[in-house]
Amino acid sequence: MELRNEYKPLPDFLTIKKSDIDGIGLFTTKSINKGTQLGISHLYNEFFPDNYLRLPLGGFINHHDMPNCIAKSYVEPHKHIKLFTIKDIIAGEELTVKYIINKLENPRWEFNWEISQ
Distance CA 40, CA 59 (A): 11
pLDDT tens readout for residues 36-49: 999 988 888 888 87
SS3 56: helix
Per residue in 52-82, is it b (16+ CB within 10 Å) or e — as a string?
A: bebbbbbebbbebeebbbbbbbeeeeebbbb
Distance CA 39, CA 12 (A): 12
Give domain limits for the chain.
Answer: 14-111
CA proximity to 67, closest of 83, 80, 56, 51: 83
CATH of 14-111, one of 2.60.40.10, 3.30.420.40, 3.40.50.1240, 2.170.270.10: 2.170.270.10
pLDDT tens readout for residues 85-116: 999 999 999 999 987 654 444 445 444 444 44
Is the pTM above the cut of 0.85? no
**Contact at 8 Å (CB) between 15 and 27?**
yes
